[in-house]
Amino acid sequence: MGEFTTTIEQRLDQAYKGLREARSVGDDYLADTLTAEIEDLRRLAVDHGIPLPR
C-alpha cells in the first residue's frame, strides 16, 4: 500500500469521525463541509483505483 493510499484512507477516516461528531452536536455547517470533503476524497480514491468500503 502506497503513501498516497494511506493518506486518502486516513483522511477519510478522520472526515467520517468528524462528521459523526458534527452531527451529534448539531453543527450542520461542519457536517455539510465534511460531507463535501468525503465526497471529494472518495472520488479521488476511485479515480486512482483505491478500493473503498461502502
**Long-range contacts from 10-15, C-beta under 8 angstroms, 24+ separation:** 11/37, 11/41, 12/38, 12/41, 12/42, 12/45, 12/52, 15/41
**39, three cell numbers:** 465526497
pLDDT tier at 54, thresholds 50, 70, 90: confident
Task: Tell me the pLDDT tens digit for each residue of 10-45.
Answer: 999 999 999 999 999 999 999 999 999 999 999 999
Q: What is the distance, to the nearest Å, from the Cα of residue 12 to the centroid of all Cα atoms in its chain? A: 3
Q: How far, in Å, CA of 23 to CA of 34, rounded?
A: 10
